[in-house]
Chain A
Amino acid sequence: MNNSFRNSARLAWAALRALLVLTVVTGVIYPLAVWGVAQAAFNDKANGSQVKVDGKAVGSSLLGQNFNLPKKNPNDPKETAQPDPKWFQPRPSAAGTDGYDTTASGASNLGPTNPQLVQTVNDRRKQVAEFNGVSPSAVPVDAVTASGSGLDPDISPEYAKIQANRVAKARHLDPAKVAQLVADHTDGRQLGFLGQPTVNVLQLNIALQQLAG
């Protein structure tokens, strides 16, 4: 009995030492090595691919963000944020109460037959169609669904196109120029066959701001 206890203790001691030494190798040396290379060779990306306007960081090109009108009463939790017609709008987001909250990344997790999701999708379609002055059937799928991360930086080229006229009108710009801007910021599938065509909303809006002057 005494012997078997001593054996177990010896084994546990060996296991603890194994864990500690492997923690040093995989939990200290390895991440520091990756960090060193990343910071030296890919400094910009390792720190979040931040995008600057006039020298000031306004976000990350990889993270979506809201383009809403200021709330009338910021302390009222019931007031929902309204989209600002002067900007291209991102996809709906389930991250946080107002969406695009980086401290609460995630999806709606609503099931494919959930009546609440059916209602939400129909409401969004109506809202997007009215907001952009297009027919409900012209509203693409990404405009009425929340993404997996709630931080999707992209929209489909179709969603960008139906927003162009509304943005041009709100900013008193030539619609053809705004449409051209959308075309310039449309990325095809990566390498021609990976994923889907995208338009990065933040980059597009930065270009839009420059166009407006």
Chain B
Amino acid sequence: MSPIFADVLQVSALIVALALVYVPLGDYMAGVYSSKKHLRVERWIYRSIGANPDTEMRWPAYLRGVLAFSVISVLFLYLLQRIQNHLPGSLGFAAVTPQQAFNTAASFVTNTNWQSYSGETTMGHVVQTGGLAVQNFVSAAVGIAVAIALVRGFARSRTGDLGNFWSDLVRTTVRILLPLSFIAAIVLVACGAIENFGNWHDLTTLGGGSQGMPVGSVASQEAIKELGTNGGGFFNANSAHPFENPNAFTNLFEIFLILAIPFALTRTFGKMVGSVKQGYAILAAMFVIWIGFVVLMTWSEMAHPGAALQAAGGAMEGKEQRFGVGGSSLFAVSTTLTSTGAVDAAHSSLTGLGGGIAMLSMMLGELAPGGTGSGLYGMLIMAIIAVFIAGLMVGRTPEYLGKKIGGREIKFAACYILITPAVALIFTAASMALPTPIHSAANPGAHGFSEVLYAFTSAANNNGSAFAGLNANTDWYNTMIGLAVILGRFLPMVFVLALAGSLAEQRPVPETAGTLRTEKPLFAGLLVGTVLIVTGLTYFPALALGPIAEGLS
């Protein structure tokens, strides 16, 4: 079988698998957020929290819940790392330094999972399992909760109520993420991912050398790391590590886990706003961008431009033999178009164009299909912009899903799409302008600039993948990246929830002959165009200095 044909089959198998779960998973999630019933375990959790899950919240209250939970999470995770040396199962590792602990805490709470440490020499059992893996669950749940609040903003009218944050948080964790992660974790163990709480010990290798045997609760964390689009590797090599990703099947399975919830949420959205066709239009726009980037990335990696890759005869630097170029390209696009940031190959060693696509994927705002929740709300914001542009063209007040898109709504949407590029570009510019931060780059010239641009793009978009040549464990990068992930996560959420509140208060506009049909292919096309143009224009100058300059050299 030719490698290209095998790769086409591999991508097709993934699409079929995603299509099979789309309707059941999407409908199930819609049911979770519409149900009036509480499970027994949920009642017990609400009692422990002291919250009434049936109280409706307006957007400021919902936002306060999100922020309070996240602030407490950052403090708790910071503290856990700082006292690691006193915890049982610390594997002899010291307390994490203050800057790195702040960076890691901010990064995991914001669903970014940027890592300036290597797991195998920094984090013991308790921090991994009771700290980092927990945030993998709850940060994903917070993202989905905010997306659902926005969907309710569209679905409801003449009320400011957006649901209950505690209920959305708990239900997402208990009814969606936990059962799916459990199944996925068992599949991963069955394929060879490790799951133990042992101690590192050295073995004498066959050739007479010595090698340490890694330990940890890897499979349970790996499952939620992909499913919750978190991406923080248990080990430094992330999903390239054979104990995280043992073979070609698990590689495809992990990509499936990354994409399953974000794609299916478009069905949940369609169900909740009362027209599954509206969900299909959003899905179509996401899918077109995803498949287009997969084709581009795979083509670039197979053609392997670049002096070093030409000398080697293929783009296998930083890639695993069992995955090959096809499996690694598919993973790279899927991880950067969601907010995952897990990697099964070294992104820094991708071809110039391939690295550029990975960066552009994040710059689009990670909305094809995007992170759990953040992808859906990102795409819905873009839909509002698209409707607005269409409205300008025909000279009509734009409306979307029966809601008027007036000045207030557009202001929130515009702030949303401006905040992330502003953080990414200003922080990159500051790093280039100051005398020391540039010394962290491992590669000379344009690639060195790309490393810094990639780092802040990844941070501001809450992705977490890296051109890992950059030594980010410095005071500057630990602090600035920590700030970037927080600004890039919570400021957009403020605008999303404010928008949701504003939409929920409106009375519905009746559909007329002049209403833009947002469930049609024409609108999906307009949406793709809007996404590409808005982000393309914002980032083009920066891309020209980095990957484009490198690709042309």
Contacts and interface: CB of A to CB of B under 8 A. Distances in A.
Interface of A: 8, 11-23, 25-28, 30-31, 33-35, 37-39, 41-42, 45-50, 53, 56-60, 62-63, 65-68, 70, 84, 87, 91, 95, 100-115, 117-118, 121-122, 125, 140-142, 144-156, 189-196, 198, 202, 205-206, 209
Nearest to A58: B206
A46 B178 contact: no
Given A15-B69, A26-B173, A102-B120, A193 B13 contact: yes
A2 to B, nearest CB: 18
Contact of B240 (A14, A58, A147): A147
A200 to B, nearest CB: 9
Given A26-B133, A30-B220, A118-B307, 18 more contacts: A15-B69, A16-B72, A17-B48, A18-B69, A26-B137, A34-B186, A38-B186, A42-B190, A45-B193, A66-B209, A105-B240, A107-B349, A111-B447, A112-B317, A117-B317, A145-B319, A148-B343, A149-B242
Given A26-B178, A189-B1, A209-B206, A19 B133 contact: no
Contacts of A145: 312, 314, 316-319
Contacts of B349: 107-112, 117
A22 B206 CA distance: 44
Contacts, number: 381
Given A34-B182, A34-B220, A27 B68 contact: no
B107 interface: no
Interface stretch (B150-158, B194-202, B392-400): B194-202
Contact of B321 (A17, A68, A196, A202): A196
B318 A27 contact: no
Interface string B222-250: 01100000000001110011110011110
B309 interface: yes
A110 B317 contact: yes
A65 B205 contact: yes
Contact of B320 (A60, A148, A190): A148
A147 to B, nearest CB: 5
Contacts of A121: 308, 311-312, 317
B240 A102 contact: no
A25 B205 contact: no
A118 B137 contact: no
Contacts of A189: 1, 6, 248
A195 to B, nearest CB: 3
B308 A27 contact: no
Contact of A19 (B64, B69, B219, B343): B69
Nearest to B134: A27
A118 B242 contact: no
B173 to A, nearest CB: 6
B237 A107 contact: yes
